[in-house]
Chain A
Amino acid sequence: MEIVHPNSIDEALAGLGDGAIPLAGGTDLMVEVNFGHIRPERVIGLRRLAELKEWDGQRIGAGVTWRRIETHGPKALAEAARTVGSPQIRNAGTIGGNLGTASPAGDGHPFLAAVGASIELASTASQRTLTWQEFFTGVKETARRPDELIMAVHLPAGLPERQCFGKIGIRNAMVIATVCAVVTRADDGKTTVALGSVAPTPIRATGAENMISSIGHPSAGDLVEFQRLVSEEVRPITDHRSTEEYRRHGAGVLARRLLERCLS
């Protein structure tokens, strides 16, 4: 295994392709290597690249760690960051690495989906920015080409102040999400609901969003209907971590509670 330590973005981009794998915090990659699931020919270490760690307003560099997001991020993203692994993992793991892995359970994804974030990619030949919907293409699959590096996440301006994250797991810390979700609510009632661990990619519950966005002061009955719609819209599976039925139930309850928190 060849380890490359580029000192500039250009050097890093030049090293990509031909089976090279970029390494950010290593909290996912090294697990894969340890299990023998992958044996990378060449690893491009990104930790020396200061540019990736830059955080300029709405542009969060891909190398920004979860620890920094936990303490400096927008409310719901900071809440999500707090649930990423253990303190050691949060000191190493990055938002770019989370996107590169694109696990259906990625803790950062629902926030990006809820606010409509976009992802900046670069290669030696080009630079492009994808919407989150374009970026996530399947379970651990993204639109990133092997010669591209995830450079940054762009958040839209004017994020709703009312934004809440929640994550269901069967341990009270350091756990993979059974369901995770972000709900935002703007002053005009416009509501977004994004969920993780309930479909191959993060998803928005648009039916539930449309229903609740038009209601200025939702009643208890409206909240129940909102919960029902969210449960209907998710597409979870049964696996060793949980069941389809529970994830459906949990998604609805969690989204309703986060909305209640936004409204309170």
Chain B
Amino acid sequence: MSTRTGRRVGVPRGVIRDSPLRPDGVPKLRGEFEYAQDLRAEGMLWAATVRSPHARARVVSIDLGPALAIGGVHACLTAADVPGRATFGLEHADQPVLAGDEVKFWGEPVAVVAAEDDDTARRAAAAVEVRYEELDARTDPEEADDRDEVFRRLSIRRGDQGLHGSVVVEGEYEVGMQDQAPLGTEAGLAIPDGQGGVDLYATSQYVHVDQEQVVASLGLRPDQVRAHPTGIGGAFGAREDVNLHIHLCMLALHTGRPVKMVYHRSESFTGHVHRHPAWLRYRHESDEDGRLVRVEARVMIDGGAYASTTSAVLANACYFAVGPYRSDSVAVDGVGARTNNPPCGAMRGFGAVQVCFAYEAQMDRLAAALEMDPLDLRELNALGTGDPMPTTGQVIETPLPTIEVIRSLQAMPLPEPATMAHHSELPGGSGLTTEPHHVRRGVGYALGLKNLGFSEGSDDYAQARVRLTPDGAVVETAAIEVGQGLVTVLAQIVRSALGISRVDVNHVDTSKIDSAGSTSASRQTQLSGGATLEASVKLRQRVLDRHEGEELDDDGVWKGDELVVSWSVLAEEDWEETVTFRHPPTTGPDENGQGVIHADFAVAGHRAVVDVDTELGLVKVVRVDTAQDVGLALNPQSVRGQIEGGILQGVGLAVMEELVMKDGVILNPTFTDYLLPTILDAPDVEALLIEREGSWGPFGAKGVGEPPTISSTAAVAAAIRAASGKELNRVPIRPQDIALE
């Protein structure tokens, strides 16, 4: 038996609260990481999609002949070829796999083709002759509401509806349609298994829900379809819905060959759902001291042609319509309209972003009406632990450090005026439009609140398995790494819980493990992290019990100074532990929208500093500083990465990111015209992580992915208002909104 001589001292490196190197970081930087776009298989065909050029039309006929006549074309499939359920959908299966009698949005898939190479497939898609009879596209969500064409209505009434305040501010607000614009476009490879089943490797945030939908539409047994996690170049909500998944599997089974498809950039803009555009009407009433007495809101979002997650996004928008503030009396009415616009669904912030832009503008207006400091007004009304949610009445039981967030923002020093010595410091940048004397500085604040995890009574769980191997430990999971750092943090959790240093994370397919749920709702660190922690703790205890040990490390099991079992012997014993982790249960809303709707909450605040060329309406976002409620930062560098990226996405919505629509057609589906912020548009960021124990996440961690995007847009808008003196009730704020009357 060995003794403690030579034993490594202390805990392994790369445990929680460290920021170890990401295992996927170097391969991604070197271009060696395999993304879904890079997948290949022997004998592989390429697929392409025939899409509707109309926002609404009757499909009169489809002639596949010209496409099939092209050499190298192997298959051309339409709605008639869908073997199982004709429709799919995340919450309601209302969207045709391929359009039948009618197309309902511009870019809706009508047919798919497979050919020897990408170019031939695209030529074949173009050669399919579809005759349409164009119908009137219904693109106005208010008219849809009048016609009762809605996915969901939600009314919230809380408190005495007769209460009124003496100070009243009202406003109407609008949020344009933002796109997730992940740099990796939709891509995938389906491989037939030769026995009627298929293996699917495709861009996804949620392989189990893809698998269920493929099974249904292909009319197969669940065990015949295996959906595999693969390399994802960004998601932000765009990969929750099925797009090319069923098409690829249909073509693979039809041709008997592996089939690959990669959306081009423009196709990606039509091939995934977008952030809902929103129209918001608000009335805030307070007493003379600024205490909110009543908040009324009307929330309209346009869900487009098919359901996707519109019901849940609308609910979120309504539940968070007041923000992190107390109010005794609340009335919210929400509508998720059905139109012939492109379907909208999940995007980072999930409904909380749109209302935040409006309620924070309202809070600034109220502060102005009261002649109060805007942060003092927010602090006076700050929602905290033990308070009922102003909308649902749910008592907040986990830590909600709203006041600490406000005070942290207050305490952060403001930056010096810019030297403006270089054009990169000025609005207009390299365009050389602006001299320092054209610039006015503005500062704006905003706070945002959102739920973590799935809500409204959904059975939200994640399964993870931890196994011991000769090399250390392995986590098995079907949770998707989209770039956010899940593989890093799961390994950190295992190192902390087991006390060993060598840990790998293996993504396994849907046949090998139960669902981890979606990589969305800021939930994977809490849910899959929770499952991984519990599995690790149980596994360690079982090992120690079996060998009557006291400690576990890379060498094996120790009792006092004695190594009772070496790692190599231990690893032969086939140790594994599988855990399904659930967060506290939630309920659906009652008839007044009341209930224990959410599992956890997070609050964040942003302070934006902008320099505005008011005559030309050009904006330079100088800084966006933040304080964010993170529970416990398991990987501080990853948390800051989420914060900086999330803020940049919020800045994008504030000043440039919008899909411009006309009669249901997207006018700018390219990176030439859908503008994402460049590094010259990126503000400096100082982030304060507010850590409070008490959340049910592993070690008290909260999800951190969405809060950075929620109030950063509102803060930038407030800062531009302060600089320009304009009301600016719409984002993105365009140059003409600032420069013209």
- The answer to whether A257 and B430 have CB atoms under 8 Å apart is no
Q: Does B26 contact A (CB under 8 A)?
A: no
- The answer to whether B739 and A240 have CB atoms under 8 Å apart is no
- The answer to whether A240 and B678 have CB atoms under 8 Å apart is no
Contacts of B740 in A (CB 8 A): 245-246, 249
Contact of B673 among A34, A167, A176, A177 (CB under 8 A): A176
- The answer to whether B430 and A82 have CB atoms under 8 Å apart is yes
- The answer to whether A240 and B660 have CB atoms under 8 Å apart is yes
Q: Which 5 A-B pairs have the closest CB atoms?
A: A172-B429, A246-B736, A167-B431, A240-B667, A173-B680
Q: Which residues B612-638 have CB closer than 8 A to chain A?
A: 615-618, 620
- The answer to whether B736 and A172 have CB atoms under 8 Å apart is no
Whether A257 contacts B435 in the complex (CB less than 8 A), given A171-B677, A171-B681, A173-B681, comes out as: yes
CA of A31 to CA of B672 in the docked complex: distance in angstroms? 10
Contact of A171 among B656, B670, B734 (CB under 8 A): B656
- The answer to whether B427 and A172 have CB atoms under 8 Å apart is yes
Q: Which residues A177-204 have CB closer than 8 A to chain B?
A: 177-178, 180
Contacts of B434 in A (CB 8 A): 257
Which residue among B435, B616, B672 has the maximum number of chain A CB atoms within 10 Å of its CB?
Answer: B616
- The answer to whether A166 and B736 have CB atoms under 8 Å apart is no
Closest to A107 in B: B431
CA of A171 to CA of B735 in the docked complex: distance in angstroms? 10
Contacts of A174 in B (CB 8 A): 678
Q: Does A50 contact B (CB under 8 A)?
A: no
- The answer to whether A240 and B735 have CB atoms under 8 Å apart is no
CA of A245 to CA of B741 in the docked complex: distance in angstroms? 11
- The answer to whether A166 and B739 have CB atoms under 8 Å apart is no
Q: Does B506 contact A (CB under 8 A)?
A: no
Q: Does B122 contact A (CB under 8 A)?
A: yes
- The answer to whether B122 and A36 have CB atoms under 8 Å apart is yes
Give 1 or 0 for each of A229-245: 1 = CB within 8 Å of chain B CB: 00000000001111101
Closest to A167 in B: B431
Contact of A250 among B266, B427, B667, B735 (CB under 8 A): B735
Contact of B428 among A31, A168, A261 (CB under 8 A): A168
Q: Does B224 contact A (CB under 8 A)?
A: no
Q: Does A147 contact B (CB under 8 A)?
A: no
Q: Does B424 contact A (CB under 8 A)?
A: yes
Contacts of B677 in A (CB 8 A): 171
Contacts of B424 in A (CB 8 A): 172
CA of A169 to CA of B735 in the docked complex: distance in angstroms? 9
Contacts of B722 in A (CB 8 A): none
Which residue among A165, A240, A243 has the maximum number of chain B CB atoms within 10 Å of its CB?
Answer: A240
- The answer to whether B675 and A171 have CB atoms under 8 Å apart is yes
Contacts of B87 in A (CB 8 A): none
Closest to A1 in B: B119
Q: Does A83 contact B (CB under 8 A)?
A: yes
Give 1 or 0 for each of A242-264: 1 = CB within 8 Å of chain B CB: 11011001100110010001000
CA of A71 to CA of B608 in the docked complex: distance in angstroms? 35
Give 1 or 0 for each of B661-673: 1 = CB within 8 Å of chain A CB: 0100001101011
- The answer to whether A170 and B655 have CB atoms under 8 Å apart is yes
Q: Does A175 contact B (CB under 8 A)?
A: yes
Contacts of A166 in B (CB 8 A): 428, 431-433
Given A167-B433, A168-B735, A257-B438, 18 new contacts (CB under 8 A): A35-B670, A165-B432, A166-B428, A166-B432, A169-B428, A170-B675, A170-B734, A171-B681, A172-B424, A172-B678, A172-B680, A173-B429, A178-B735, A180-B431, A240-B660, A242-B735, A243-B736, A249-B740
Contacts of A83 in B (CB 8 A): 430-431
- The answer to whether B736 and A245 have CB atoms under 8 Å apart is yes
- The answer to whether A253 and B615 have CB atoms under 8 Å apart is yes
Whether A172 contacts B739 in the complex (CB less than 8 A), given A240-B667, A253-B615, comes out as: no
- The answer to whether B618 and A168 have CB atoms under 8 Å apart is yes
Q: Which residues B683-741 have CB closer than 8 A to chain A?
A: 734-736, 739-740
CA of A171 to CA of B681 in the docked complex: distance in angstroms? 7
Closest to A164 in B: B432
Q: Which residues A1-60 have CB closer than 8 A to chain B?
A: 31, 34-36
Q: Does B167 contact A (CB under 8 A)?
A: no
Contacts of B734 in A (CB 8 A): 170, 242, 246
A81 to chain B, nearest CB (A): 10
Give 1 or 0 for each of B123-166: 1 = CB within 8 Å of chain A CB: 00010000000000000000000000000000000000000000
CA of A45 to CA of B248 in the docked complex: distance in angstroms? 37
CA of A171 to CA of B654 in the docked complex: distance in angstroms? 12
Q: Does B264 contact A (CB under 8 A)?
A: yes
Residues of B in contact with A (beta carbons under 8 Å apart):
122, 126, 264, 266, 424, 427-435, 438, 615-618, 620, 655-656, 660, 662, 667-668, 670, 672-673, 675, 677-678, 680-681, 734-736, 739-740
Contacts of B122 in A (CB 8 A): 36
A118 to chain B, nearest CB (A): 26
Closest to B126 in A: A36
Closest to B671 in A: A174
Closest to B427 in A: A172
A78 to chain B, nearest CB (A): 11
Can you name 11 A-B residue pairings with CB atoms under 8 Å?
Answer: A165-B432, A166-B431, A166-B432, A167-B432, A173-B678, A175-B431, A176-B673, A241-B673, A246-B617, A246-B735, A257-B433
CA of A239 to CA of B736 in the docked complex: distance in angstroms? 13
A107 to chain B, nearest CB (A): 10
Closest to B426 in A: A172
Contacts of B667 in A (CB 8 A): 239-240
Whether A254 contacts B656 in the complex (CB less than 8 A), given A172-B424, A173-B430, A243-B736, comes out as: no
B703 to chain A, nearest CB (A): 30
B492 to chain A, nearest CB (A): 36
CA of A36 to CA of B267 in the docked complex: distance in angstroms? 12
CA of A141 to CA of B620 in the docked complex: distance in angstroms? 35
Which residue among A177, A241, A243 has the maximum number of chain B CB atoms within 10 Å of its CB?
Answer: A241
Contacts of A170 in B (CB 8 A): 618, 655-656, 675, 734-735
Closest to A241 in B: B673
Q: Does A209 contact B (CB under 8 A)?
A: no
Contacts of A250 in B (CB 8 A): 616, 735, 739
Closest to A76 in B: B432
Closest to A34 in B: B264
Contact of B678 among A82, A171, A241 (CB under 8 A): A171
Closest to A39 in B: B123
Whether A168 contacts B616 in the complex (CB less than 8 A), given A176-B673, A243-B736, comes out as: yes
Closest to A239 in B: B667
Closest to B655 in A: A170
Closest to B659 in A: A240
Closest to B733 in A: A170
Contacts of B428 in A (CB 8 A): 166, 168-169, 172
B25 to chain A, nearest CB (A): 23
A167 to chain B, nearest CB (A): 4
Q: Does A79 contact B (CB under 8 A)?
A: yes
A61 to chain B, nearest CB (A): 25
- The answer to whether A254 and B736 have CB atoms under 8 Å apart is no
Contacts of B655 in A (CB 8 A): 170
Closest to B432 in A: A166
Closest to B621 in A: A172
CA of A17 to CA of B97 in the docked complex: distance in angstroms? 45
CA of A249 to CA of B126 in the docked complex: distance in angstroms? 42
Closest to A170 in B: B656
CA of A72 to CA of B681 in the docked complex: distance in angstroms? 27
Contact of A172 among B264, B681, B735 (CB under 8 A): B681
- The answer to whether A79 and B675 have CB atoms under 8 Å apart is no
CA of A171 to CA of B264 in the docked complex: distance in angstroms? 24
CA of A245 to CA of B616 in the docked complex: distance in angstroms? 12
A172 to chain B, nearest CB (A): 3
A29 to chain B, nearest CB (A): 14
CA of A12 to CA of B673 in the docked complex: distance in angstroms? 34
CA of A171 to CA of B620 in the docked complex: distance in angstroms? 9
Which residue among B126, B428, B660 has the maximum number of chain A CB atoms within 10 Å of its CB?
Answer: B428
Contacts of B672 in A (CB 8 A): 31, 176
- The answer to whether B435 and A175 have CB atoms under 8 Å apart is no
CA of A167 to CA of B675 in the docked complex: distance in angstroms? 16
